[in-house]
Amino acid sequence: MDLKLSNKLALVTGSTKGIGRAIAESLAAEGTNVIINGRSQGVVEKVIEDLSKKYPQSAFYSAAYDLSVEKERQALFQAFPEVDILVNNMAIFNDAKFEEIGLDEWRRYFEVNSISGIALAKFYLPKMLAKNLDGRIIFIASEAAIMPSPEMPHYSMTKTMNLSLAKSLSRETVGTTVTVNTVMPGSTLTEGVESLLASLYPELDSVEERSRAFMLNNRPTSTIQRLIRPEEIGNFVAYVASPLAGAFSGEALRMDGGLVPTIF
Ligand SMILES: NC(=O)c1ccc[n+]([C@@H]2O[C@H](COP(=O)([O-])OP(=O)(O)OC[C@H]3O[C@@H](n4cnc5c(N)ncnc54)[C@H](OP(=O)(O)O)[C@@H]3O)[C@@H](O)[C@H]2O)c1
């Protein structure tokens, strides 16, 4: 299927690893030019070097900014005043019990996971609307947005916020070809999740053993009983980013391997 994404410009936040990198790869495979973001210049440049070899038809641009910091967001906006596709993917997560999470930590989660995406949407959405050429904003939430994760209450709260925001923003797009949606992945084997598994199961030796224990004990409702592969999410997000997916608007799209046990 030709997703009609060639020569578009996408910004995928947090695209040096995990789901963000997989989304960048799926878009690049369709000929989209991609702005790669992470906090370290060296890491961003290494990713660009690797992807340029793999996807010679696409151009990659470096955006080494910490997007939780307003000054760095302003630098990003100056460097890239317009994009066709914004994927608000970047987020932090760690396991913590409610009684252990101080108010400053709640504020940090709100800043990094919520305010950064709000600020980027605030900057890029008006430009997409003015252009009216299949602009796309996609928030990467989580199944935790609708089924809060018992080991991550602070993270889950920020993911629920994504759904509300995307729905509100979709009302700004009425009558245009621009869409705003949320994709909710289930547990996916990324670098971030590998660290989470190590912290939950330090007594187990391999990623495979930890993944099995995690699915069995922490994610028993998953019907696929395995961690999702990042590229499975990447390919779906590329479709949602494409002009072919213009009828998704304000949707909360699940790709969770059956983890959420309800129909809707
Ligand atoms: N993995 C899962 O099971 C899962 C499930 C549901 C939803 N999600 C969501 O999917 C998204 C990606 O998760 P992941 O597991 O792929 O994460 P990950 O492996 O931890 O990767 C996070 C990415 O974000 C970047 N990043 C972190 N803080 C940043 C900041 N302040 N500014 C710019 N970039 C920053 C990291 O880059 P550097 O370290 O290079 O700066 C990295 O590229 C998140 O929104 C997460 O909530 C994940």
> What distance, in Å, lies between the first and last C-alpha atoms of the chain?
28
Residue 123 parent element (H or E): helix 116-131
Alpha-carbon span 85 to 249, nearest angstrom: 14
Torsion sign across C-alpha atoms 53, 61, 67, 230: negative
Q: What atom in ligand 1 is closest to the CA of residue 112?
A: 31
**Residue 150 confidence (pLDDT) above 90:** no
Q: Do residues 51 and 23 make contact, with C-beta atoms less than 8 angstroms apart?
A: no
73-82, long-range: CB < 8 A, 24+ apart: 73/116, 73/119, 73/120, 73/123, 76/37, 77/123, 80/9, 80/11, 80/35, 81/127, 82/9, 82/124, 82/127, 82/131
Q: Do residues 21 and 44 make contact, with C-beta atoms less than 8 angstroms apart?
A: no
Q: Which domains does the chain carry?
A: 9-187+229-255 (3.40.50.720), 189-227 (no CATH)
pLDDT band at residue 247, thresholds of 50, 70 and 90?
very high
In short, whether 93's Cβ falls inside 6 Å of ligand 1 is yes
C-beta atoms surrounding 250 within 10 Å: 16
Residue identifier of the C-alpha nearest atom 26 of ligand 1: 14
Can you tell me the mean pLDDT for 69-82? 98
Q: What atom in ligand 1 is closest to the CA of residue 89?
A: 45
Residues of the chain with pLDDT > 70: what percent?
A: 100
**R_g (Cα) of the chain, nearest Å:** 18
33-38: strand order across its sheet: 60-64, 33-38, 9-12, 85-88, 136-140, 179-185, 252-255
Q: Directed axis angle between helix 230-241 and helix 18-29, to 10°?
A: 50
The larger pLDDT score, comparing residue 95 to residue 230, is at 230
In short, whether 114's Cβ falls inside 6 Å of ligand 1 is no
Tens digit of each residue's pLDDT (9 = 90 or more) over 26-58:
999 999 999 999 999 999 999 999 999 999 999
In short, whether 16's Cβ falls inside 6 Å of ligand 1 is yes
Q: What atom in ligand 1 is closest to the CA of residue 185?
A: 6
pLDDT of 206 reads 95
pLDDT of 217 reads 96
> Residue with structure tokens 């996916």?
188
Can you tell me the mean pLDDT for 246-251? 98
Alpha-carbon span 215 to 142, nearest angstrom: 16
Tens digit of each residue's pLDDT (9 = 90 or more) over 181-205:
999 999 999 999 999 999 999 999 9
Tens digit of each residue's pLDDT (9 = 90 or more) over 104-128:
999 999 999 999 999 999 999 999 9
Active site residues: 155
Can you tell me the mean pLDDT for 230-243? 98
Tell me 111's DSSP state: I
Mean per-residue pLDDT over the chain, rounded: 97
Q: Do residues 158 and 118 make contact, with C-beta atoms less than 8 angstroms apart?
A: no
Tens digit of each residue's pLDDT (9 = 90 or more) over 124-148:
999 999 999 999 999 999 999 999 9
